[in-house]
Structure 1
């Protein structure tokens, strides 16, 4: 059916009138837009079930107040309701009609001397409410909207007489962004109507979504001026986008056309986040929309119970309702039937019989919009009650005056409304709920979070799964029970909507140039850093004594590395050192047993014994490099190594000098006879060792070695080593040994051709050559090694060089002594020397 006039939709007489504007019909169109005549009539179409039920909440509240002996006694409330038909024109016409008080609209004049107008309940849309508030605010007429949520209406300077029983979108859009963040969605689309409600909401939710770290994949407007609402383009954008979640800020009558297009193009699998304007829509709850809307979540007006209101609606029937023909239209929409027309035909639609029962379609939970209307009526009723019982001299107006309830000014009721609702925090409705506004005319910001499910395979129903309450004492405004949510994919797991896959543990986000922040790449954490959470923005450095595991998602204690006796390498070197130290002692025993033989006596028995003892100490000093570095070990190990090797090489050099002096002293007239004996070699040994001692003292006193924990050389490992204190001093000590060895090599090389049956200078030459080769090779190996292998290289060099001396100098002698005794005779040595 269509409505063509601005006549009163529904009314009831009374001593004081309430005005009301409701969007009973969901669409308003103009039949004639050719501009060939003035004022083309608006054609109202599509009867709305929920708006009509909210209108019944107004009539129910008025009847309840009139029957209450304590609230406004002896005063009867009446009302006049106009259908705005969702157009600004009808909203303005209805407002002017109520202000004019007659059938003719005369701005700035009230032509009817009947019951005064207390205030207006309406409108449901933000754009229409803004227009009405601009008109009503001129004369300070109170206006209480039950569904206008635009934050602009909170500006008291612009709209001083505006109040509402639904929270501002300022709160809802923050909540929607928190809901998106709660489910971990970082890539969402935005869809909004092109009116004040949609555009203001779009701006706010976009900013809030970005503030919570998410990104907007696309932004599209539902063009309310176009019959198809721009649905084909919107659906194409949704199909092409990778976002699986779309926030919709629009009325159900606008969004339903987009849903129809989604059905037509078979678009499924999207998660729709609903604003309160369609989250509980009966229009969208039809079974055929389940393919698209099943699993949707959104914010809904906080549900309130209106006592006995469900029974009141159940008793509505066309046969006993005196309020005009609109109940017949309501009945048709509720039961999807048609009343018989004059020719008794209804086409293919089933006929209405009047025997249908509303009890099967109405739940115990009253309509959320109806509760807001009910609260708005009671707010004005209590304000009137306060005016009625004002005590002269204690009034809220100038000079403590009171207003006359039968002839009050609109601004007096507005002020009374403000004072009443601010001062009486314990003021309650019949349902027991508190009723108050803040300084901007907004009620407490409380929302229900609903989830769309299929009810008995018939229609979609909205189940409360959480709440959003800014007044909770613990500060946890958003409370959602994820286990109660049924998603469209029939999976208990929350669907994902991300531009990029989540970065796993051990990775971090890397921003891609010229792309939104949510479109990133995942890069592994740098060495030494971890990320212990998914989608980490940055990696964190482990502490000095810890290191990342292979997955780089947690820090583990670093392994400690040193040349340990428990290590196979350390154990092998220690065993080799101990075994090798026995060899010089065995050779010393052989020399002591055969000290009277020519081979032993011919090679300076006392220096040989001293050299063997020093070699025994050389093998043992390598043990100082194995094991956990203690301060005493670090201080003494290099000194011990330097001193015993200085003694060994000095002994070798002393033996070489002794050989040269001995052979040259036998020449006739030689002056070297007086230098023969043991004094010269021992003096040389003492001087050589003393010089090394001085080098070590200069090193140890100002720059003593000390234990050190090295965390930089090898990743993930703490190398426990001895810091040499001064590398210069260390290399000076080692260089001095090289100088002694070089001198010994040169002297022995020059004496290699001296006539003797057993010329020791040859073997000393080979021993020094091997010694120098080992330590020259040691230098690059030592510098390139890391960790315990640095120490192992030095131990290996010590053992190798010591073995070179033992093998080259003493093994040939022991071979003759033990296995060639016939060569160990004076005659043989003398004979061989004479032959030479």
Structure 2
């Protein structure tokens, strides 16, 4: 009993580019894989027992016209090609295996679907295609009898993008066939590119050719050379790739890395040098294991085993220069005992199983398993029919085939169920060309993708052979990467992969390549000079160990000692006329307040804390209020002393009663009230300034209420201005009896210091602001001390003859001890 499987489009022989008399015999491996599967099945006692699986195969020419002629020749038998007529009588033909292009499968499927009618019911047309997966062929309404052996390549775009991202390639060109399948792939991969930040530099729709010799538009090759992308993705139907295959030899693009959907060995010819455009490219093919026994079969098979195969004899004769006994050509030459397909020229390489040959092998086994299941079912039901010709109706095979699952000899699971789910695995191969036409597909990695969207990429970079134009791993980017310390700035009107690099701002940093935004350092950190990472800021303040703090502290200590010396001098000479002349008690109060003023400057130096922050401004305001009000009291005393010399007792009464001294407590109480309100509402507190000095955090005292601070300072300024006015009006009094001029000059110095202080204080930050205030305190206090008391000390120490009653009248007297 013989069941026949018809194989169409199994060879698809094509002319070589260099010599049209040479055939591309590599595709003959499809026939050998077909032979091997049939042989295994017929020897298997458990699969189709007592049945012989026969076959016929026809060539698919480069011209679809001649391929259709072969198809009609098979359908009508050995007579003329008459459509819808057959005279076949041998065997039961149950299935066809077609493929290599989805276009052929579509066109053949439309024709073969007609033979499901009862008109030719003895011919069952079950079509299995071993070409690339095409979603259009899954339409069961249009192609109810067509099944694809290849699994869906919906994960192929994700696999390719994983390879691109592994090498940092974000600027790529796409070459896809100008058909529905190419358009679908283009949409899918562009969507993934958008998600992963990969940009398309160039998109080319490859022209689809109907015949090998048909003229094609090759202008797109000039665009390849002009493209700035160094990586090209190639995906398309075989007929679309013919144009690329022919043109890559004449338009060398050695500076490009080609990433192909598979090793398109049906059209991609080998070359005899390493300057081939596809050398160093990558090929993605579905993962598969080796078929057990296939290599041994290929080593031992010879034309005598298949004497009716004209092409096998021709292959043997052309490339081994001999013809074995019983061949079609007769005895030509003497074949050595070890003559084998293993010794064919390297550009043919029939020993390495191709993807399509693997699918042919699975397709034959799929037919055998379906037939086995149907026949076993009929045998159990006793409806096998005539033993010589079992009756198998078309509709009986479809339910079984749709649920078919089996494990082939390679250990891989083969399933016809739709949708096919599970793990998608791709072998990543490196295309390497050697001299003398030797080509090698070196496996350099794998990619896995599960239904739960988990993926993994394994690459052995040390095994990769790059194109001749590259000495190291090539780059393919629109713009060079922005290193750490920079951020990317997209260019208007261009893809997101095209950008310029901008240095991070003053307080920002980036520690990664191609950062979209710089990261701002925290308040306690600052970026280094390269803006690559943040460094902790150093805590600083106006410290005694600081040079500025040391200078101010020494100045304050010196003025304090001078004040103590002046006070001691005045106490010692308290009975002399010059000390008594302007109320010695006011002089003591002024000297003590100046002493406290100099000492309060130490509150501004050192590490700030809550106590010093509360005391420094309050103490400064109160003691200076006392000092200035004491100067005012001295000035009023001088004025009253001269007024009292005129007739009338009112001025004398005021002078004798000590009324001028009341100015001091009154002004002190007013200032004390303002300070109390300040402390009650918004007192000063310890604060930090992280911006005034680069790389430093300055500890300082925040004034709390700025309004209260300036009210206190304003009252002190008003008091100083009033004192200066009174002293200025009394400046022309005779200097023999008063010190009005010295008081006027001292207040002029005092007011000048604090008028200068205000703008300088506002324009500085951090510890410099504190230093300005300390200096103003010391300078204004020194002005009062020097202008008021230096002339008196001069007279007491150096001109004692003037420090007597006669001296005031005659300016002369003897020195007394």
Alignment of 1:15-94 (within 5 A): 15-27=2-14, 47-94=23-70
Q: CA deviation at 1:804?
A: 1.0
Question: What TM-score comes out, normalization by structure 2 length?
Answer: 0.87
| 2:291 aligned to which of 298, 302, 306 | 306
- Does residue 373 (structure 1) correspond to residue 388 (structure 2)? The answer is no
- Contact 2:678–2:705 (CA<8 Å) still a contact in 1? yes
- Does residue 275 (structure 1) correspond to residue 261 (structure 2)? The answer is yes
Helix, strand or coil at the partner of 1:18:
strand
Task: String of CA shifts for 1:304-328, please: whole Å, max 9, x gaps.
Answer: 3111211222224456641332024
> Which residue number in structure 2 is paired with residue 346 of structure 1?
none
- Does residue 294 (structure 1) correspond to residue 279 (structure 2)? The answer is yes
Cα distance change, pair 110–610 in 1 and its aligned pair in 2 (3 A): farther
- Does residue 505 (structure 1) correspond to residue 484 (structure 2)? The answer is yes
- Contact 2:102–2:237 (CA<8 Å) still a contact in 1? no
Q: CA deviation at 1:271?
A: 0.9
Give the distance between the partners of 1:602 and 1:616, measured in 2 at CA: 22
- Contact 1:448–1:467 (CA<8 Å) still a contact in 2? yes
Give the distance between the partners of 2:99 and 2:138, measured in 1 at CA: 15
| 1:653 aligned to which of 623, 632, 639 | 632
| 2:196 aligned to which of 198, 212, 221 | 212
> Which residue number in structure 2 is paired with residue 168 of structure 1?
152
- Does residue 433 (structure 1) correspond to residue 416 (structure 2)? The answer is no
> Which residue number in structure 2 is paired with residue 33 of structure 1?
none
Task: String of CA shifts for 1:268-292, please: whole Å, max 9, x gaps.
Answer: 22111111152x6795333325442
Give the distance between the partners of 1:833 and 1:154, measured in 2 at CA: 132
> Which residue number in structure 2 is paired with residue 244 of structure 1?
230
> Which residue number in structure 2 is paired with residue 390 of structure 1?
377
- Contact 2:801–2:812 (CA<8 Å) still a contact in 1? no
Q: CA deviation at 1:587?
A: 1.5
| 1:604 aligned to which of 583, 608, 612 | 583
> Which residue number in structure 2 is paired with residue 583 of structure 1?
562
Q: CA deviation at 1:766?
A: 0.9
Task: String of CA shifts for 1:710-737, please: whole Å, max 9, x gaps.
Answer: 4566676544433322212111111111
Helix, strand or coil at the partner of 2:404:
helix
Give the distance between the partners of 1:486 and 1:678, measured in 2 at CA: 111
- Contact 1:294–1:488 (CA<8 Å) still a contact in 2? yes
Cα distance change, pair 756–223 in 1 and its aligned pair in 2 (3 A): closer
Q: CA deviation at 1:197?
A: 4.8
> Which residue number in structure 1 is paired with residue 326 of structure 2?
none
> Which residue number in structure 2 is paired with residue 828 of structure 1?
807
Give the distance between the partners of 2:254 and 2:87, measured in 1 at CA: 57
Give the distance between the partners of 1:329 and 1:595, measured in 2 at CA: 140
Give the distance between the partners of 2:738 and 2:317, measured in 1 at CA: 131
| 2:457 aligned to which of 478, 481, 495 | 478
Cα distance change, pair 196–726 in 1 and its aligned pair in 2 (3 A): closer
- Does residue 806 (structure 1) correspond to residue 785 (structure 2)? The answer is yes
Helix, strand or coil at the partner of 1:292:
coil
> Which residue number in structure 1 is paired with residue 728 of structure 2?
749
- Does residue 697 (structure 1) correspond to residue 685 (structure 2)? The answer is no
> Which residue number in structure 2 is paired with residue 707 of structure 1?
686
> Which residue number in structure 2 is paired with residue 624 of structure 1?
603
| 2:219 aligned to which of 233, 257, 271 | 233
Task: String of CA shifts for 1:170-218, please: whole Å, max 9, x gaps.
Answer: 2223322332233221211122344555454344334433443222222
Give the distance between the partners of 1:474 and 1:566, measured in 2 at CA: 64
Q: CA deviation at 1:407?
A: 1.5
Q: CA deviation at 1:487?
A: 1.6
Give the distance between the partners of 1:332 and 1:52, measured in 2 at CA: 14
Could you tell which deviates more after superposition, 54-63 or 259-268? 259-268
- Contact 1:16–1:77 (CA<8 Å) still a contact in 2? yes
- Contact 2:802–2:812 (CA<8 Å) still a contact in 1? no
Alignment of 1:311-326 (within 5 A): 311-318=296-303, 321-326=306-311
Q: CA deviation at 1:293?
A: 2.5
> Which residue number in structure 1 is paired with residue 328 of structure 2?
none
> Which 5+ residue runs of structure 2 have no aligned equivalent?
117-123, 324-331
Alignment of 1:681-830 (within 5 A): 681-711=660-690, 718-757=697-736, 759-830=738-809
Give the distance between the partners of 1:782 and 1:302, measured in 2 at CA: 77
Q: CA deviation at 1:802?
A: 1.1
Give the distance between the partners of 2:32 and 2:542, measured in 1 at CA: 91
Q: CA deviation at 1:588?
A: 1.2
Could you tell which deviates more after superposition, 363-372 or 144-153? 363-372
Give the distance between the partners of 1:312 and 1:393, measured in 2 at CA: 36
- Contact 1:471–1:477 (CA<8 Å) still a contact in 2? no
Q: CA deviation at 1:740?
A: 1.0
| 1:414 aligned to which of 398, 408, 413 | 398
Cα distance change, pair 454–145 in 1 and its aligned pair in 2 (3 A): same
Q: CA deviation at 1:118?
A: 2.7
- Contact 1:141–1:411 (CA<8 Å) still a contact in 2? no
Could you tell which deviates more after superposition, 525-534 or 351-360? 351-360
Task: String of CA shifts for 1:768-807, please: whole Å, max 9, x gaps.
Answer: 1011111111111111112222222212211111111111
Could you tell which deviates more after superposition, 589-598 or 764-773? 589-598
- Contact 2:182–2:235 (CA<8 Å) still a contact in 1? yes
Give the distance between the partners of 2:356 and 2:642, measured in 1 at CA: 126
Give the distance between the partners of 1:569 and 1:531, measured in 2 at CA: 36
- Does residue 640 (structure 1) correspond to residue 637 (structure 2)? The answer is no
Helix, strand or coil at the partner of 1:293:
coil
Give the distance between the partners of 2:687 and 2:380, measured in 1 at CA: 90
Task: String of CA shifts for 1:624-671, please: whole Å, max 9, x gaps.
Answer: 223333233222221111111101111111111122222332345443
Query: Once superposed, what is the RMSD of the aligned Cα atoms?
Result: 3.5
Give the distance between the partners of 2:457 and 2:297, measured in 1 at CA: 34
> Which residue number in structure 1 is paired with residue 119 of structure 2?
none
Q: CA deviation at 1:813?
A: 1.7
Q: CA deviation at 1:224?
A: 3.9
- Does residue 359 (structure 1) correspond to residue 361 (structure 2)? The answer is no
Helix, strand or coil at the partner of 1:272:
strand
> Which residue number in structure 2 is paired with residue 143 of structure 1?
127
Cα distance change, pair 281–689 in 1 and its aligned pair in 2 (3 A): farther
- Does residue 123 (structure 1) correspond to residue 99 (structure 2)? The answer is yes
Question: What TM-score comes out, normalization by structure 1 length?
Answer: 0.85
Could you tell which deviates more after superposition, 102-111 or 377-386? 102-111
- Contact 1:303–1:367 (CA<8 Å) still a contact in 2? no
